[in-house]
Amino acid sequence: QVQLVESGGGVVQPGRSLRLSCAASGFTFRSYGLHWVRQSPGKGLEWVAVVSYDGDHKYYADSVKGRFTISRDDSKKTLYLQLNSLRVEDTAVYYCTRVVVPGVIWDAFDMWGQGTMVTVSS
């Protein structure tokens, strides 16, 4: 079955850390660029970060640069997002997504996970 499944969300205090995981199945994981997108409660969608298919290129939204780190483990077919120095405004559902075309970074997202909720609150 072709799917992405996120995990690792939870409730955390401001300033603390969390690591999100996204397990992939049903497609050639190492061939695709992968992104994280988040959605604050009742709000729209915000792009967070991307890692290229080969892991050599990583880019971040200004709002998370220096605090979040995206990575991938092709042997485990898993995408990660390390969230450090969390802020209240990072509260959101975090989705991992796959691009349409293998081998490219910047493209539409044809596959989404179900999302994992991160709540930052004291």
Partner 1 sequence: EIVMTQSPATLSLSPGERATLSCRASQSVSTNLAWYQQKPGLAPRLLIYGASIRATGIPARFSGSGSGTEFTLTISSLQSEDFAIYYCQQFNKWPMYTFGQGTKLEIK
Nearer to partner 1, 12 or 51 (CB): 51
Contact track, partner 1, 89-108, x by CB under 8 A: ------x----x----xxxx
Residue 56 corresponds to which tokens in the numbers above? 């050599």
The footprint of partner 1 on this chain (CB under 8 A) covers a number of residues equal to 22
Q: Which is nearer to partner 1, 44 or 66 (CB)?
A: 44
Residue numbers 18-77 binding partner 1 by CB under 8 A:
35, 44-47, 50, 59-62
Q: Does 81 bind partner 1 (CB under 8 A)?
A: no
